[in-house]
């Protein structure tokens, strides 16, 4: 649903030079997920074998907000260490 909304907004706002993107983060180290048992369960299902860092998510968002991403609009970008692969 969010991905469809993103694509529609990208089409509607593109002519104004506005880009619209969705970032879908996967398991990420935060203060809210300190449970070592849950982390141990997640690691084997991640293609990269580790939980993501908040800085990795922030780097993608910073890129999307930069002039270098001016031609990126409409996608749902998944950054999850291969969780969904």
- What is the model's pLDDT at position 45? 93
pLDDT digits (tens, 9 = 90+) for 1-57: 999 999 999 999 999 999 999 999 999 998 888 888 888 999 999 999 999 999 999
Q: Which domains, from first to last, does the chain contain?
A: 2-79 (3.40.50.720)
Q: Give the closest residue to 29 by CA, choosing from 16, 42, 10, 20.
A: 42
- What is the model's pLDDT at position 33? 80
Dist CA 46 CA 57 (whole Å)? 16
- What is the model's pLDDT at position 85? 87
Compute the average pLDDT of residues 50-66. 97
Model confidence, pTM: 0.86
């Amino acid at each position: 649903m969010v991905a469809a909304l993103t694509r529609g907004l990208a089409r509607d706002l593109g002519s104004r030079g506005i880009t619209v993107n969705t970032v879908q983060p996967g398991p990420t180290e935060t203060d809210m997920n300190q449970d070592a048992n849950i982390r141990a369960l997640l690691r084997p299902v991640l293609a990269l074998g580790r939980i993501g860092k908040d800085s990795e998510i922030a780097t993608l968002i910073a890129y999307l907000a930069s002039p270098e991403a001016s031609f990126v609009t409409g996608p749902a970008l998944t950054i999850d260490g291969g969780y969904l692969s």
